[in-house]
Amino acid sequence: MALKQEDLLRDMQKCFNNLKVEEDKKETVIPREREDSIDIRCTDFPDFSEDFRQIVKAGWLEKTPPKGGKIYQRRWVQLDSEYMRYFQSIKEVYSKRMVSLGSVDKAVNVGDMRFELHSQSRTFFFRAESTQERNDWVCCIEKILSDRKHSLEPRNLFFKNGSVNICFEGYMEMLSPRTKVYTLISKDKLFLFRSHEEYFQGVGITDIDMRMANVRNGESKRSLTLTTPYRAFSFMVDSESEKQRWSEALNECVSRALSCDGLCESIWRVPSNRLCADCSSSMPEWASVNLCVLLCEKCAGAHRSLGQNVSKVRSLKLDERVWTDDLIRVFLLLGNGKANQFWGANIPPSESLCSSAQSEQRLEHITAKYKDGKYRKYHTLYGQQEALNSALCSAVQSGDLLETLSLLNCGADINCNTGIPEFPTPLSLAKRSGQTVQAELLMLNLNSESFTPVDKDASIRSQSGYLFKTASSAKPITEHKSKADFSQRWCCLGDGMFSYFKSEQSHHKCGGMKTSEIVCLSVNSPGKHGYEHTFELYSEEGRVYLFGSDEGSIVKNWIQAIAMAVLPPALFDVCGTCDRLGRLRCTEGNHGIGWFCLSGFKLQVLLEDNVQIIDLRKLLTLNLSDSAGSMVLVWRGGPLHLLADRRPHFVGWQTFIQQRSGSGDQPLSQQQLTDLGVPVTVDRCLDHVTRYGLMSSGIYRKSGINSHVTKLLERFQIDARSVTPLESDYSVDDVAHTLKRFLREVKDGVFNGQENNDSWLKAAGLKDMTEKINRYQILLSNLPDVNRETLKALIHHLVCVQHLSDENQMTIRNLGIVFSPTLFHTDGTGATGSQVVEELIQNYCSIFNVSESDLQRQLNMTSVILNKHKSQRPLSRTPSSTICAVYLEKKAEGAEVLVQVTADMTVVKLVSVVLELKGIQQANEESWSCYEVLEKEDMERTLHYQERVLPIYFSLSCHSHLLIKRNQYIISITRYLENIENLCKSGPFRVCEVKSESSKTFHSRHCELSGTTFRLHKDLQGSQCEREYPVKELKLYHGCRSKMHPPTPWGLILIHDKQQWYLCCENEDELTEWTAMFYSIQYNGDIWPSW
């Protein structure tokens, strides 16, 4: 009832807003949003690409007013690591409110799509556009709050980590809008609050960046004006003397911001210096002056932990005296890019640091990178002391700073004897040579700790130490475990046993298992549970053990030791680097067992004697059986049959393999791929257009039918491997439009981000063609492998298209115009993007290193084939087929029909073929359907006429079959739907939750279908909602399960994952109506073909 009232109020608000549109356009004074927030509108708007603020998440949310009221107000909300701000619109610079996350205790999910932000002083209510969006917001906020809780620095509710540096503060009266505000100057910003109390509570109005501000006198003696590029702020104070003090303080803030910003801007001119050298956070304001890297604030803290003898950390803004001209030149000449060519030359992707990493992970990574030298590029003279010293003496007399940095950190003695009495050290030699920048680098490293490599025994298979453990479970651990759920245990690994004790002194073992009984080890993502780093052990008996620690190095050592104790020697190389490892029942394995190690997208498999590596993104097919639970992976090396296992580790393997096999809403590198490393979506679209559209006039310029394009793209995103566009279903323009839309919408695009887009566009401005092609080749080589192969495949295809431009009218210029917005994610108004596409096509062989003779031979062959078939039916793909057994009307002897089913055959086609084989003519009022029949459960599911047959057929268990028979309900269903207006229905049911074969208890429940959601209430109408499911995720079966003794014979069975609900209808009409509603929502009204 409350939701209906709320929706009514929202509708009233929309009507009210529509009536006021014309009136609002005439008004010059915009009314404020209640008393709580201040509406600070801009008169001009910025280029948001210049915004240096690190936004974690941004989007539209609806919020309630602070003092009650049910009408939500739509606000643009930005979340960064310090504040949550909300604005009147997406263009506004100055927020209506900013809430310091230091004052926030928690973010809580409340009902559908809503969440609350609990601060020290009040609760903020927000509503997202979907439950998923709401969950994303809460997850981001909780992540930041978790990071803050780990900080031991003094706490201030408004400023991050207590970093309070107030230069001036007090009350002033703002003249537009007219209100009194508490104003505070801190560092290079001006902060506005409604009161002094709200500052202490951590809630503000907005902050003003003083870098581009200007202070001048106002119209009266007690007023002053602060002008920014986006608006002017007018303030009034109590006296002229107070105005003078404020003016001086504000001008000092502007000067301070400009001086600080000058140094930052100078060093940030080098593109690689705009990202932290360790975690890639943007606009780093700290530096390790001896290691020659720029750092974000969090990484700078980790560097300080190494000590001054390893890393000398300085601020770009606060340590102005340190930054001499020579030191600035060191960072301009080296930069993070060149420095990381030495420090981070060998960082594997799995060990790279991200901007959201926890403090322990940062310290571990930074220690390994700089102190232990784990990832550095060793000098060719490493280990030859005299040669290193001699090379250092030569390097300091040149301008090669990277060589000097490499020598100093690979063992060269900074105080070695040069052999020249007048200039005995490298420092004096550098000064004699006039190399002041080299001298600066040497002086910064005079007291630094030299590098000593650390040897680790990789063959250790025993381990002991304290870990934290939860109680073991017989089910997969899906819920979050807090630290209170863990108990400290002394753990020992050795002699084929893993044991744990209450303490190190205890002799009585609390529990344990043989290492031969460990069937799986799974590493959780950091922060999943109360302890930052956790892993799970799965035993042969079906128990799950969760262990953890806040120390990443401790957990890493345990994982490596356990892995080496469990795995066969052939897999020792992957110990410590896997996300999940263990053994599974596998048909192709030795004695039916295979060993598996999953790391990223790579699945390493040991079946007999050799290890095979499967890139899960490049699987040919991935089939799951809903009933039996088996999994079939088909790759170029053949099929892998992973047999179902009721123990909890198998469910985790299913989830991991599905997630790592490629997803349609991810960047190109995380899509489902062909064997050549091209996204399947791109490959299928290019193949279809090549077969049917190369001679189509205006190909890629003409748009397809939008509904067809949307439907096809959604199918690709769900499972691209299972999609082969058919000429009968989609026109060539539909497929071409789908390709362009995919490339335009895919995350980071083909060129892998806006910065790379700009680099390609900048290269187009080079005058010399040879230099330009060389630049294109360099940019191409810098792309990730998948992006590079995708671009190559696309440009090769466009070369073929323009080769037939006499037929299709698509010249190189036309293709450049069409694909420029697609590839560069622009509106197509600029000519530079078109120029890049044209030059890639014109110089395809040179840029992509392709033989011109081979290309010409392919083009000639294409022309011959297409001209030969120009007047005939276009070439068609011959899909693979399987002989399937289906039954007609009932499963009995003689009723079986063998049908050749192709990969693209739909249910409606199958029904037509079977009836034709049996010589059955459908009467006008007669309808036939195909059913999935589960024999043991006495239930059946009507298959939708557009479902593909093969995936269903392969998923059938030995107690299931496909049955074709007359559909007795479809006419009643269609007639019922013709007479209803709203897709909603509710009413009582007798319901039984089917947990086992012994489930027989039916309870009265109130069920509701509303929108796209099915709700199951605990008792009768008005009671609390017990379960809620998206209708499209439910499978609907019919049947009367007599063994359960249902109260009526008219049963609906709803299945969601492994949950089953048996709903008993009172009569057949009620069964028909509920079935009709389910079908209509699940299939968007398209429940039966319109012949």
Q: Give me 563's structure tokens.
A: 């892995």
Q: Which two tokens stand for residue 186?
A: 């801190």
- Per-residue confidence band for 564, with pLDDT thresholds at 50, 70 and 90: confident
Helix then strand then coil, in percent of the chain rounded to 5, is 35, 25, 40
Domain with CATH 1.10.220.150 in the chain: 272-371
407-462 pLDDT, tens digit per residue, is 998 889 998 988 888 888 898 888 888 888 888 899 888 766 544 443 333 344 67
**Percent of the residues in the chain that have a pLDDT greater than 90, as a whole number:** 28
Q: Is the pLDDT of residue 610 over 80?
A: no
pLDDT band at 1012 (very low <50, low <70, confident <90, very high): confident
**pLDDT tier at 1022, thresholds 50, 70, 90:** low
- pLDDT, residue 348, reads 87
pLDDT at position 558 is 92
906: β partners: 948
- The sign of the torsion formed by the CA atoms of 857, 861, 867, 868 equals positive
Neighbours of 364 (CB within 10 A): 20
Residue 726 has what pLDDT?
86
Indicate the class that CATH gives domain 881-966.
alpha beta
Alpha helices in 948-1013 (DSSP H): 949-955, 970-978
Task: Convert 385-416 to b/e letters by CB count within 10 Å (16 or more is b).
Answer: eeebbbbbbebbbeebbbbbbbbbbbbbbbeb
Looking at residue 459, its pLDDT comes to 41
Q: Could you say which of 1.10.3720.10, 1.25.40.20, 2.40.30.110, 3.40.640.10 is the CATH number of the domain covering 385-444? A: 1.25.40.20
Pair type for strands 960-966 and 881-888: parallel
Backbone angles phi, psi at 1038, to 5 degrees: -120, 150
Out of 36-50, 117-131, 989-1003, which region has the weakest mean confidence (pLDDT)? 36-50
CATH 1.10.555.10 fits 668-868, yes or no: yes
The pLDDT tens digits of the residues spanning 598-607 come to 988 899 888 8
What does the alpha-carbon distance between residue 1009 and residue 996 come to, in Å, rounded to a whole number?
26
Please name the residue ranges forming H helices in 410-484: 426-432, 436-444
Question: Residue 149 and residue 913: Cα distance in Å, rounded?
Answer: 65
Is-cis flag, bond preceding 177, omega within 30?
yes
Mean pLDDT to the nearest integer, 58-78:
78
- Dump pLDDT digits (tens) for 789-804: 999 999 999 999 999 8
More confident residue, 32 or 934: 934
d(CA 952, CA 882): 13
Q: In this structure, which CATH number among 3.90.1010.10, 3.40.50.800, 2.40.160.20, 1.10.220.150 belongs to the domain 272-371?
A: 1.10.220.150
Spatial contact of 172 and 246, defined as CB atoms under 8 Å apart: yes
Short-list 82, 50, 272, CA closest to 187: 82
Prediction pTM value: 0.43
State which H helix or E strand residue 294 sits in: strand 293-295
Where exactly does CATH 2.30.29.30 map onto the chain?
2-153, 165-264, 461-566, 573-661, 972-1082
Instruction: Name the range with the highest mean pLDDT among 186-190, 251-255, 562-566.
Output: 562-566
pLDDT the model gives residue 252:
81
The confidence band for 473, taking pLDDT boundaries of 50, 70 and 90, is: very high
> How far apart, in Å, are the Cα atoms of 120 and each of 38, 770, 804?
21, 64, 69
C-alpha 268/C-alpha 279 separation (Å) is: 16
Question: Any idea which architecture 2-153 has in CATH?
Answer: Roll (2.30)
Segment 869-893 mean pLDDT: 64
Give the per-residue pLDDT at 790: 93
For β-strands 223-227 and 463-469, DSSP reports them as unpaired
Question: Of the ranges 52-61, 531-540, 773-782, 1049-1058, which one carries the lowest mean pLDDT score?
Answer: 52-61
DSSP 826: S
**Token code pair at residue 119:** 């601060």
* 3-state SS class at 43: coil
Mean pLDDT of 546-569: 90
What is the overall mean pLDDT for the chain? 83
Q: What local confidence, expressed as pLDDT, does residue 293 receive?
A: 94
Closest by Cα among 916, 915, 946, 919 to 928: 915
Alpha-carbon gap, residue 1051 to 1058, rounded angstroms: 19
Of residues 460 and 48, more confidence is placed in 460
Residue-wise pLDDT tens digits, 589-600: 877 888 999 988
φ and ψ at residue 959, rounded to 5 degrees = -105, 25
Q: Going along 470-570, which residue ranges are E strands?
A: 487-494, 497-501, 509-514, 518-523, 533-539, 544-549
SS3 at position 654: helix
Report yes or no: 62 and 75 within 8 Å, Cβ to Cβ.
Answer: yes
What is residue 1043's predicted lDDT score, i.e. its pLDDT? 82
Strands of the sheet containing 939-942, edge to edge, are 896-902, 881-888, 960-966, 928-934, 939-942, 1035-1038, 1051-1056, 1059-1064, 984-993, 1003-1010, 1013-1017, 1025-1030
> With contact defined as beta carbons under 8 Å apart, do 349 and 600 qualify?
yes
Domain covering 972-1082, topology: PH-domain like (2.30.29)
Burial of 5 (0-12, 13-18, 19+ CB in 10 A): exposed
For the 165-264 domain, the top CATH level (class) is: mainly beta
Q: Report whether 762 contacts 729 (CB < 8 A).
A: no
1053: tokens are 């069975």
Q: Among 454, 456, 463, which Cα is nearest to 563's?
A: 463
- Residue 44 confidence (pLDDT) above 70: no
Second CATH level (architecture) for the domain 461-566: Roll (2.30)
d(CA 371, CA 626): 51
Start-end ranges of CATH 3.10.20.90 in the chain? 881-966
pLDDT at 54 > cutoff 70: no
Instruction: Write the CATH number of the domain with boundaries 573-661.
Output: 2.30.29.30
Beta carbons of 1027 and 1016 less than 8 angstroms apart: yes
| pLDDT over 80 (residue 863) | no
pLDDT digits (tens, 9 = 90+) for 624-683: 764 556 888 888 777 888 888 888 989 899 889 888 888 777 899 899 998 888 999 999
Q: How far apart are the first and last CA of the chain?
A: 42
